[in-house]
Structure 1
């Protein structure tokens, strides 16, 4: 049994931490909003008053939060993980989708603190997190992955090792930018089909199973047709814009100038500007509807 610190118990983190509890580990949790950790406490986790308290003596430290700002505060801020009395050689497993620059900086800070860092962003919805069916995108030394594997296995059905630290996040930023483009393209396609007088339910079904289909299109096109932008929000406009921004900035860092990516960023920024931050990412269709010219 390992002593594990799990920092960040949102929709994804709750499912992941729950899997580690069920696997028999001693899990210490911290979340900025304490009430969101209560379901894990009821399952046997120990509540910590700070990230540092959770991390004391831990064999592995998992973090699953929304962005660079939250990750930086939890690792490096007041009472952050790196201020704790850490176990030498403990695993530092960062699962959040973060900018590539911060992942590299954080890995260096973790190394200086004597931690064994693993770049480990994930893909999958909260249901997959709770069922141990995530796919993990790994960046780090093979020896680190081997050490972490007994803890990664309860969380995932697949682990893909892309190379050294930062490469897992590089892939995650690439695939999330592509996902953003697919969602925005599906929204424009549905608006066009609407103007053409087509049955949108039929169009959504055909898109999901046709040559333009993808998991993003298959999941989001029917929700756009239904207009189900506020019910059971699994991924909001705020986080889709963040992922698009991080992905675009990483491509630009590599000397690229992704015009499709920039147009997609503008689409989700428009949805944010319209006040849809907490709505599902599918709400982008409403922002695009407002901005497309009227039919002649």
Structure 2
């Protein structure tokens, strides 16, 4: 069973961007930890590695992978796994995470994280791949729920149940992306509150928060895009409050990967995450929000 007690602090973190390096060192509050994308640091070294080493002396680091294609039909790339192992060995991060998605086909890497049908065959394949990752890295990993824009007719599992079964079979933890839940719920017309009510929160080691863009589909219905390019929307903050009331305090990451703002803007979003944890600690907030 996944043990979340020895990973990241239950406090705000942000996705690290080099343009914020000096500001983070000078005045990081309220940020207590940082996340990096693994594939940006899988080379041999140089200035990026030197800056990251310096940061790791002051902050817990979360390594977030985007290129393993955990859900892909092909075997995992052994060279990619070896580079991940090297990164984890010298950085000693607090956690490592990847996505419940696929991004490779016939040897080609697709620049997207694509959804999966939730079937017994997919479940077996994903669990096999997670076992391989955890063995190769010699550490438990966290698996992130996707943002979805379509559903598969052949799916026989609800997503929370699918993720719960993955944790049971592999012992991995989960990375709960609250924005992804809200995006998927809007696009696929289900209740995000019901999703959270059925989600295996005991296995969550980290929560992500991000911004999304709103478009319309061909029928004029709202279509949300997980863009990571703006502030977190108010309904996502409310869904976070509901989640924390059920789960207790957890590490909260602000993701902002496109149209990256200045440090004060990003720190303001982190302050909102800190406020959510503060609200959780007040006696009036011990119940579950409606």
Same fold? TM cut 0.5: no
Structure-2-length-normalised TM-score: 0.28
Higher helix share: 1
The answer to which structure, 1 or 2, has the higher relative contact order (CA under 8 A, 6+ apart) is 2
Tell me the TM-score normalized by structure 1. Answer: 0.28
- Compare the two structures and name the one with the higher strand fraction: 2
The structure number with the bigger radius of gyration is 1
